A and B are shown apart, each in its own frame.
Chain A
């Protein structure tokens, strides 16, 4: 099976989506186990390919038997195997944990819900493993369409949030497509590696610059970088709980990964950083977003909104790491992709466990939950501490590597912003934890009678929370054995 690994990451999800939809229509109870099976198979393939790439280097897979650049190829190298593993594993845990929420909120037709979820994951993982520029667009649209509909299912305000996201997201896709067009007409190829091979002769062409700018603008929408972020808070806020819990950890990360892929594979080394302002803009926008997002999170009182703005801030850090355009910074950004996916998933799962038990989302009404839902809040606290960046959690190390990468480039500001964003994170997390632990539950409030959710919701949250610790302690092998070789020259 080894030579087929790249496609095996996608196939279970794609076939699973069809099967789940069909079976779900006539036997709704079969939808969830089938979906878990599909995601589990995909996760297994991802892990297998991670092992395989670490052992024998990148796996290239010519779809249809047509060698690139004639055909489309899938490339699983260290970077994509890593991101695919993170995405699939986190998705698996989140889906397990949100089953009850999905039953409650998405109710009567789980077949469609899980079908859409699997299509979303197909799209996201397709972006991760593909080696073709146009193929990225196709899978971007698959995941986007599924995402719009899933957000929409929140009803009420979610409907307009989904529509606004649809417009801006499709615009982002179209901008990306236009950018690919510029590159295609300049080079004549769509294959990423082949583009990189053919670009050096025409690097000073304005068309290449415009292509890069448009590609990054398009991906920037999906990544929710700061001037293009405004769709995100409403979308995360009003979407159904299982959808947000699934999207928040992985969706923006995959778009950020696509940006990194542009740096690593498509554009020749140094081009984006030296010949164009793209890398600088990314750096500035990312750092600005890290601060602005943190500040905005502090001003919110809805837990979901706090976490949404926190996502914007953290994605800003990832973008800054990509914009630094050095191997160490890329490794830092990748490590933060993983860290943030794990932390955010734990935070959202804990937040939605609270909502599941009490119906509350406002942090002012969460007083006393530390006593009522101790394990949930333990998961939340560990993840929050990691988000703040306290050693030895994983969150600390991703920030450490990022700051180091900035210092290595002689950019003080990066380290400074990383520190400031850590403080801002501490500020809004302490606000939450104070209420949860230090205020007593008001009499008769729903918080007073709450209890930890059932084990199948709680366990994934705890697994993710402890993963932040384990990954933090194991950061050296992950970074030095996996990531640095993967992004290295």
Chain B
């Protein structure tokens, strides 16, 4: 098990380092992620949503459904916690 774990770690490290050779350089303004989609949010959020904070605009509107999911995660954790800790436990 330990040996397998170490192999998995090394394999993971190798994969990640190998893959980074193809990622755009940090700060490169021509990276695909910067040239596609992201300009849309910057240019349009003020007029379409009306909030200067682009992150809020994306979070609250363009990708609002993710945020709903995220809130649901929090809620799930709450329900889970109530379930886990709320029953049959010694009060101290």
Find out whether A and B make contact in their complex, taking CB atoms under 8 A apart as touching: yes
Residues 29-62 of B at the A interface (beta carbon under 8 Å)? 31-38, 40-41, 61-62
Residue of A nearest to B20 (CB): A207
| Cβ 8 A contact of A119, one of B23, B38, B65, B76 | B76
Residues 232-285 of A at the B interface (beta carbon under 8 Å)? none
Q: Residues of B contacting A70 with CB < 8 Å?
A: 37, 40-41, 62
Number of A-B contacts (CB under 8 A): 130
Number of interface residues of A (CB under 8 A): 55
A412, CB-defined interface residue at 8 Å: no
Q: Residues of B contacting A115 with CB < 8 Å?
A: 79
Q: Residues of B contacting A186 with CB < 8 Å?
A: 22-23, 32
Q: Residues of A contacting B19 with CB < 8 Å?
A: 182, 206-207, 209-211
Interface string of A383-396 (1 = CB under 8 A from B): 00000000000000
Interface of B is mostly: helix
| Cβ 8 A contact of A116, one of B22, B62, B76 | B76
CA distance A126 to B73 in the complex (A): 13
Q: Residues of A contacting B68 with CB < 8 Å?
A: 14
Q: Residues of A contacting B10 with CB < 8 Å?
A: none
Are A142 and B73 touching (Cβ within 8 A)? yes
Number of interface residues of B (CB under 8 A): 42
A188, CB-defined interface residue at 8 Å: yes
Are B75 and A17 touching (Cβ within 8 A)? yes
Are A112 and B79 touching (Cβ within 8 A)? yes
Task: Give the top 5 A-B pairs by smallest Cβ distance, nearest first.
Answer: A210-B19, A149-B80, A188-B36, A138-B69, A207-B22
Given A109-B83, A145-B77, output 12 extra A-B contacts at Cβ < 8 Å: A17-B79, A69-B37, A70-B40, A71-B65, A72-B65, A113-B83, A138-B70, A139-B69, A141-B73, A142-B76, A146-B76, A188-B34
Using a CB–CB distance below 8 Å, which chain A residues touch chain B? Answer: 14, 17-18, 21, 63-64, 66, 69-72, 107-109, 112-113, 115-116, 119, 122-123, 126, 132, 134-135, 138-139, 141-142, 145-146, 148-150, 152-153, 182, 184-189, 198, 202, 205-211, 213-214, 227
The 18 listed contacts between A and B (C-beta, < 8 Å) are: A66-B62, A70-B62, A109-B87, A112-B79, A113-B83, A116-B83, A134-B66, A135-B69, A138-B69, A138-B73, A142-B73, A188-B31, A188-B34, A189-B37, A198-B36, A206-B21, A211-B19, A227-B4
